[in-house]
Copies of this chain bind each other. A is one copy, B any other.
């Protein structure tokens, strides 16, 4: 197996184990075992577990950055919002280990914390830009304070939706159906600002998410 291939497989297997068992419960020995390679081989590619976490995080960050792009050539519409939310929640799901132990992981690593804060800044700007765009298109009616506060609330609901489901339900873990409900919950943050026609449409769509 070529070195590059091994490196890639270590990152993929680490992500799968982090998601399945929780990052704090996975050691480099678990990862090497799962791959059927020696710990020495693993340490040839990565200094330690934090190094692996940092590389997995870099991929998460690159993907989230892509999903947060707002169309610049035209005003956004509600279809754009649905699509973007699906992309964001899918990215969160693929890297759910991060959200599951967010405070713990970020408090151990100052650099990751700064990077995550940057993503949140970018997401807040993106959400506010979309709301301003919807307001400019006459679809949304909201004051600047309301837009700012709603952008923050979108961030809170999206960031902690997986954990909310864990503590809200008797089931130990969350699944993709919960994720779809998360998208719906974020849309409902926007609903009351909409014109009556779009608001009624959203309420109709809501039936599918209950």
Interface positions of A (Cβ within 8 A of B):
100-104, 106-107, 113-114, 116-117, 120, 142-143, 145-146, 149-150, 152-153, 155-157, 159-161, 163-164, 166-170, 172, 184-185, 188-189, 191-193, 203, 206-207, 210
* Beta-carbon contact of A188 and B150 below 8 Å: yes
A188–B103 touching, CB < 8 Å: no
B149, A117: Cβ atoms closer than 8 Å: no
Cβ-defined contact, B206 with A163, below 8 A: no
| B residues near A163, Cβ cutoff 8 Å | 102-103, 160
CA distance A106 to B92 in the complex (A): 22
The answer to whether B191 and A146 touch across the interface, beta carbons within 8 angstroms, is: yes
- Identify A146's interface contact among B152, B156, B170, B203, CB under 8 A: B203
Residues of chain B lying within 8 A (CB to CB) of residue A107: 166, 172
Contact between B117 and A169, CB atoms less than 8 A apart: yes
